[in-house]
Amino acid sequence: MSKILIVDDDVDLAELVKTKLGVEGHEVFMVHQGDTAFDYAKQVQPDISILDIMLPGATGYQICRRMRKDPQLYRSAIMILTALGEEPEVLHGMEQGADDYLSKPFKLDRLVDKINSLQELLVTINTVSPITRLPGTDAVKREINHILARGQGMAAVYIDMVGFKPFCASRGTNGQQQALGFMSNLLNKLKRTLSLYESFFAHMGGEHFVVVLKLDDRERFTTVLTETFDKEVLELYSQQEISQKHIVARDRTGKEVKCPLMSLAVGVAHNQFRQYKNANKVFEVLAQVRRMAQPTKGASSVVFMDRRKMDR
């Protein structure tokens, strides 16, 4: 089960919650002062933290922000407890990096349900694709939320492998593994060669990938990515396919069609000029910019960088 930290100045409520979660099999720790909570969390290293908002010494918001900035604690799950439960208060807590919230007063069974959901979240974000060995959508969105909560500059790069489906259709059962294996190997190579140590790579499923980078790395990464992909992807094709610049695949009706070789459509959203409240807002912009980055048939990979200055 999980290691859980309760931060609440209501001693009786904290004891009640500790007893209930202990019966559920969790290892539970408590602290009742806001100004000592962060140091105690560093000592305990909890999987899940339950933070009351109104605390002596420091608010739950402040503790949440500090945890999201700490390299040892930022991956833990955080739930805030709010006495009001009003939308502005809840949204503010989520923007500080919380994963969920619970309004007081609450039933203990409802709390247990929330804890179970946070456990499932932790499992999900640590699950990787069997082919690419990369985490998925939930993990990258959570990573973006944490970066935004820390107030850091970031760039999110959405990568589409254009021509992926025809390639898979033309290669049979091994086509998907070939293409995805090539892409994951390329991304891992660039992470090493470009020294992208503060980065996060995710596979959204199918031909879709997202890379989260430091703000200053976005131009360098996308340039090297597209140039390297366009050169090395030719290794997946025969000499005849390369010379004719297309492959032959069958469409849904079984008819043979000519399809261009694979290229990349790369869209970039970043917070140099505009502030994002959460990962969902970042993904709204990514959906827009990747549509703008579609290569024409037979053309090289395309990058479209968002340069608008309106806040999201």
Per-residue pLDDT reduced to its tens digit, 123-181: 988 899 999 999 999 999 999 988 888 788 999 999 999 999 999 999 887 899 999 99
C-alpha to C-alpha distance for 143 and 148, rounded to whole angstroms: 9
Region 41-62: mean pLDDT is 95
pLDDT band at 311 (very low <50, low <70, confident <90, very high): low
Q: Residue 24 pLDDT > 60, yes or no?
A: yes
Structure tokens at 61: 């918001």
**Amino acid letter for position 18:** K
pLDDT digits (tens, 9 = 90+) for 54-69: 999 999 999 998 998 8
127 backbone dihedrals φ, ψ, rounded to 5°:
-90, 135
pLDDT digits (tens, 9 = 90+) for 69-81: 888 898 899 999 9
Burial 294-311 (b: 16+ CB within 10 A, else e): ebeeeeebbbbbbeeeee
Averaging pLDDT over each range in 142-146, 194-198, 204-208, which range is the top one? 204-208
Lowest mean pLDDT among 16-25, 30-39, 82-91, 229-238: 82-91
Q: Residue 15 pLDDT > 60, yes or no?
A: yes
Q: Residue 88 pLDDT > 90, yes or no?
A: no
pLDDT of residue 310: 72
C-alpha to C-alpha distance for 56 and 70, rounded to whole angstroms: 22
Q: Please indicate whether residue 282 or residue 1 has the higher confidence score (pLDDT).
A: 282
- Angle between helices 137-149 and 108-125 in degrees, nearest 10: 100
pLDDT digits (tens, 9 = 90+) for 244-280: 999 998 877 778 889 999 999 999 999 999 889 889 9
Domains recognised in the chain with CATH numbers: 3-125 (3.40.50.2300), 137-305 (3.30.70.270)
Q: How many CB atoms lie within 10 A of CB 138?
A: 17
pLDDT band at 298 (very low <50, low <70, confident <90, very high): low
pLDDT of residue 253: 76
Adjacent-strand bridge partners of 79: 50, 100
Region 186-190: mean pLDDT is 97
CA distances from 230 to 7, 286, 301, 303 (A): 52, 22, 7, 13
Mean pLDDT estimate for the chain: 92
pLDDT of residue 252: 77
